[in-house]
Amino acid sequence: MSSTVYLNGEYVPYAEAKIPVEDRAFLFADGIYEVVRVYGGRPFDLEPHLERLARSARELRLPAPDTGELIRVTHELIQRNGLGEGTVYYQVTRGVHAPRAHAFPAGAVEPTVLVLTHALPPEALAENERRRHEGVTGITVPEQRWARCDIKSVSLLPNVLAKQQAAEQGAYEALFVRDGFVIEGSSSNLFAVIDGAIVTYPACNNILNGIARQRVIRDARKLGYTVREQGIPLEALTRCQELFVTSTTAEVMPLVAVDGRAIGDGKVGPVVRALQEAYRAATRA
């Protein structure tokens, strides 16, 4: 974990970073967050992540985060914490409002701004690489989230419960099913290869438009694949050739079985391999 974190304009030791108990993120999950991957000491796709943080703030009527300052903070924390491979976590909340009340504070309240880093140890990196090479499994679960999944809110309890259900069944990811369509994972976006085309649920309020998702769509089109942003029917999982999820930390992760049934031939396919290589080339660059 970080030896130093950034909290409300100051760099402080991790053990000394304190947030008041009446912070609205703690009481109401009234806040937003982002996670950026760091490769070789450099943040990857930092600007798109911070642009999405600003969008989430607008949607929740939070004060606009200072993107320029957060960029400077990011590089400073990476240097102070000697971060080579890892992640940077950002959280912005509506701040402290006492006594507790559902409505927004009537007067001006300073938001709580937190930035911290986490290193990825070699064994974790190796395990992720093994998963990407061999593929992982998933389960389907009913959609139980709110109607604004496009906002990267810290209100993640349905996602937590779905991920726990997957873990208890020995699976890597839980895939949400809404109105007969598989829309995305508990912490990832979903793609299927159906009749040679790459299909992914359209960016709307039902999913989080992942930064990795956007990059993979661009890469796929550059490689000459047809990409269709449309719903993936649950029954289509039995006839798709490949299935994979994307996220900042998972990158391009192949699913070789869902609910105990093999996807395609049960092996990682050529489309995933090509997209993995394109993604890895971007991180190396």
- Residue 24: which H helix or E strand, with range? helix 24-28
The C-alpha atoms of residue 58 and residue 42 are separated, in whole angstroms, by 27
Q: Are 258 and 232 in contact (CB under 8 A)?
A: no
Domain with CATH 3.30.470.10 in the chain: 4-120
Fold of 127-284: D-amino Acid Aminotransferase; Chain A, domain 2 (3.20.10)
Q: What is the pLDDT of residues 19-43, one digit of tens each?
A: 999 999 999 999 999 999 999 999 9
2, pLDDT greater than 70: no
How do residues 42-57 score in pLDDT, each as one tens digit?
A: 999 999 999 999 999 9
Tell me the whole-structure pTM to 2 decimals. 0.96
Q: Which residues of 231-267 are buried (b: 16+ CB within 10 A; e: fewer)?
A: bbbbeebeebbbbbbbbbbbbbbbbbbbeeeebbeee
Provide the pLDDT for residue 221: 98
First to last CA, the chain: 26
Q: d(Cα 228, Cα 242) in Å, to the nearest integer?
A: 15
Rounded to whole angstroms, what are the CA distances from 250 to 1, 186, 262? 19, 12, 21
Q: Return all residues near 265 (Cβ < 8 A) that are at least 6 apart.
A: none
How many residues are there in the chain? 285
DSSP 182-213: EEEESSSEEEEEETTEEEEPPSSTTS---HHH
Q: What is the mean pLDDT of residues 243-263?
A: 98
Catalytic residues: 152
- For all residues of the chain together, what is the average pLDDT? 97
H, E, C per residue of 235-281: HHHHCCCEEEEEECCCEEEEEEEECCEECCCCCCCHHHHHHHHHHHH
* pLDDT average, residue stretch 135-147: 97
Model confidence at 251: pLDDT above 80: yes
CATH topology assigned to domain 4-120: D-amino Acid Aminotransferase; Chain A, domain 1 (3.30.470)
Task: Give yes or no for residue 106 having a pLDDT over 90.
Answer: no
CA distance 188 to 212: 9
243 within 8 A of 258, measured Cβ to Cβ: yes
What's the pLDDT tens digit per position in 190-242?
Answer: 999 999 999 999 999 999 999 999 999 999 999 999 999 999 999 999 999 99
Beta-bridge partners for 229 = 200
Q: What is the pLDDT of residues 150-186, one digit of tens each?
A: 999 999 999 999 999 999 999 999 999 999 999 999 9
Residue 284 has pLDDT above 80, yes or no: yes
The tokens for 256 are 């070789």
Does 78 score more than 90 pLDDT? Answer: yes
Query: What is residue 252's predicted lDDT score, i.e. its pLDDT?
Result: 98
Q: Where in the chain is the domain with CATH 3.20.10.10?
A: 127-284
Q: Kindly tell me if the per-residue pLDDT of 5 is higher than 70.
A: yes
